[in-house]
Structure formats: C-alpha cells, structure tokens
C-alpha cells in the first residue's frame, strides 16, 4: 500500500497553472538467503517481528516483500521515496536473515512455494491452484492521480497502445526457475495467465467499467476488486489509475524512467477526449513483443500500428506526451535516461551479460542483490 502523504482528487485542470500529477510507486522484491541465493520464506518475520516501518508490507508469498513511496509531484522526491522504501525493506530483510532483491522472477530453481498465512491468500491458493502457485513474480505498480472516475476510465481506455513500451523499458526477468525463457520480461507472461489480466477492451464509461468488473468477479475470475489485474485499472483505495505492466527494476533509475513516462502518458491521455480503436487481441501481441525482445527488437508503433525499432517507438511516445513531460520538468531527464538505458541495456540484458561472464545463475542473483543494495545507498 502507498504510504505517507495524502492522496486527493485532482482538480481537473481548473487551477492555473496545475502542479504535476502526483505519482506513487509500489515495488515487490524477493527475499533470498545470503549464502545460497535461494528464495527464503521469512517475510512474516521481516514485516512483523522486526517492527518494520509502514513502507514495508506483505505479498502473496512469504518469499516476497513490498515497498511503496509517498505520492510525489517532483521526480527527485519520487527517487528519494524509492530509495527510502528499498532501504526499509532491505533493513527489515536483513533483520530476518535475508537479502531483499529487486528481481522479477525466481532466477534459481525453487522447490517450494510458501503462501503468506492470511485468509485471503489461502483462499486464492485454494481457488486458483497451480495458477496461484506459479505467480511468484515481482512487479512495479504506479499510481497516478486523476480528477474523477470518468477521467480515470478515459485513461484506462486511451493509454493501452502505449503500455508495451513500458514493458520493454522495464524488462528485467529473462530467467525462470533456472532456465532462460528466451524473453526479456517473463514475469509479464506469467502474470498474463490470470483471467482478469492484460489489455482490457475499451470500456467507454464508468458504468460499463463497473458492470464488466462486477460480471468478471461474479463469474469467479477474481475474489474481489483487488484481483482485477487489468494492465491499467481504477484503484480501489485511492483517487488514482494504477498501471501494472512493468517488472520490478533492479536499477532505481530504470524504475524512475518508467514511472515518469507513465505519468506523462496519463496526463496526455486524460486531456484527450477521443476514444481508441485498438483491439485487445492486437494489444496482447504488442505486449508480447515487448516482453519477448525488450529494447533489442522491433516493437509495435502505438500510432501507426506497424513494427518499428524501439528508438522510433520511444521517440513517438515522447512526442505524444511532450507537453506533459515539459510541464512536469521531466523531458530532459526522460530522454537522458533512455539514452543511458540503450547504452547499458535493460535489466534483462544485464542479467544475461552476468551469466555470460560468470557462467552461473548464482552469480546473476548475487549481482541483482548487490545492485539492489547499491540502489538505496
């Protein structure tokens, strides 16, 4: 859950000039044994026994832990919040004898899942079986404030073609249970198995969004609104839209790039009354291409609906939301961060580079742990 600061309904553009939209980020991290690099089921100890701060929370599995930021207007404040949250979970994990690692999928082969012993999580395990057992993955969720539910639905509908780029930028999960998946973001493919996950069809209005959501839950696709796993959804507890497509990023600057671009897209789409015409099945393919290749292959152009180099897609996205990026003061930072990412490679590229040089997936986990800890220093 997002911490610190207060969310409130955005004014809807009636104040001259409006401040940047607030954004908050939730990150899920894995808990690993410092000696073996294997996952370790100690989140209850980390969260409860050691009086962890409010930034630290439970997830579905005991091998996971969650951190969150306050709602922020400035990029620098969000960066501070990301570092502080990671430091909090890192210290809580260390007190429980573990390391908190920003990796999106289990890199090493794991034998057991340990569900967090809460009634809701037990019910998820019982109801969804193997689908739940194979959901030990870690994402980054971004909340951006909106003026109304009507504006939120306009964002949910209109932002869909732009989300695959966020998948590609944050791709950080090439390995799954000791195997190379051939994907840059395998986490996104694992998560797409849930019946409510993925790019929903356009809703058009709030009433339709509510009706479709209720019908899906009524048919058993989720226990409650928290299990509406649309790529972007109306948040249940905050006046925000929640964008849910990105892997957790090991390097905090990667996370910041994804978050700032997501906020600019929300602001741009919220101001656009036109309705998208993209089919959900085509967007599913666009998202898969981003997950398969990251920035190393062609992506689907969000305007022209054709394959194009990742740089061209990024430049089209920046052009689309240039005004929002300029108003928030993030334009130069986003452009520079993209160039850095192209030069260094995505998280997935960096993981494969470590395996190639060290010859061991254990070394990949160690590198992820080290870089996670450096990110909050």
- The pLDDT of residue 46: 53
CA-based end-to-end distance of the chain: 23
Confidence of residue 375 (pLDDT cuts 50, 70, 90): very high
Using alpha carbons only, what angle is made at residue 135 by residues 34 and 128, rounded to the nearest 5 degrees? 140
For residues 374 and 252, what is the distance between their CA atoms, to the nearest angstrom?
A: 9
Average pLDDT of the segment spanning 156-172: 97
Q: Grade residue 171 by pLDDT with cuts at 50, 70 and 90.
A: very high
Separation of alpha carbons 22 and 39, rounded Å: 34
| Better-predicted residue by pLDDT, 279 or 1 | 279
CA distances from 128 to 110, 131, 194, 223 (A): 20, 6, 9, 10
Strands 64-68 and 179-180: unpaired
Check pLDDT > 60 for residue 175: yes
pTM, full prediction? 0.93
pLDDT band of residue 45 (cuts 50, 70, 90) is low
Convert the pLDDT of each residue in 235-261 to its tens digit. 988 999 999 999 999 999 999 999 999
CA distance 108 to 183: 16
Distance between CA atoms of 377 and 83, rounded to whole angstroms?
8
Alpha helices in the chain (DSSP H): 43-44, 75-95, 119-133, 149-158, 163-169, 186-191, 206-218, 252-270, 280-293, 310-320, 322-328, 331-344, 347-358, 361-375
């Amino acid at each position: 859950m997002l911490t610190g600061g207060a969310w409130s309904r955005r004014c809807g553009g009636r104040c001259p000039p409006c401040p940047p939209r607030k954004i908050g980020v939730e990150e899920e991290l894995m808990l690993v044994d410092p000696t073996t690099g294997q996952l370790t089921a100690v989140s209850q100890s980390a969260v409860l026994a050691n009086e962890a701060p409010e930034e630290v929370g439970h997830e579905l599995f005991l091998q996971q832990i969650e951190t969150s930021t306050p709602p922020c207007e400035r990029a620098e404040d969000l960066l501070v919040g990301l570092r502080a949250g990671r430091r909090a979970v890192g210290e809580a994990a260390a007190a429980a004898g573990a390391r908190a690692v920003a990796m999106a999928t289990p890199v090493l082969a794991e034998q057991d899942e340990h569900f967090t012993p809460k009634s809701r999580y037990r019910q998820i395990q019982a109801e969804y079986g193997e689908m739940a057992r194979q959901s030990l993955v870690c994402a980054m969720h971004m909340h951006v404030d909106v003026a109304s539910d009507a504006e939120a639905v306009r964002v949910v509908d209109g932002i869909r073609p732009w989300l695959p780029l966020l998948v590609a930028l944050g791709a950080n999960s090439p390995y799954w249970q000791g195997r190379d998946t051939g994907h840059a973001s395998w986490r996104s493919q694992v998560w797409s198995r849930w019946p409510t996950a993925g790019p929903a069809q356009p809703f058009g209005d709030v009433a339709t969004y509510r009706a479709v959501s209720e019908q899906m839950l009524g048919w058993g696709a989720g226990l409650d609104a928290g299990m509406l796993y649309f790529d972007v959804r109306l948040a249940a507890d905050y006046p925000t839209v929640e964008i849910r497509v990105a892997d957790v990023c090991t390097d905090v600057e990667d996370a910041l790039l994804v978050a700032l671009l997501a906020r600019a897209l929300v602001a741009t789409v919220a101001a656009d009354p036109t309705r998208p015409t993209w089919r959900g099945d085509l967007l599913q393919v666009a998202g898969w291409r981003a997950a398969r290749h990251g920035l190393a292959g062609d992506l689907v152009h969000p305007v022209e609906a054709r394959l194009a180099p990742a740089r061209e897609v990024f430049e089209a996205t920046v052009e689309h939301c240039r005004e929002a990026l300029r108003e928030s003061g993030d334009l130069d930072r986003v452009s520079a961060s993209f160039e850095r990412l192209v030069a260094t490679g995505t998280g997935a590229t960096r993981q494969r580079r470590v395996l190639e040089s060290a010859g061991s997936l254990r070394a990949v986990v160690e590198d992820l742990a080290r870089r996670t800890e450096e990110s909050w220093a």
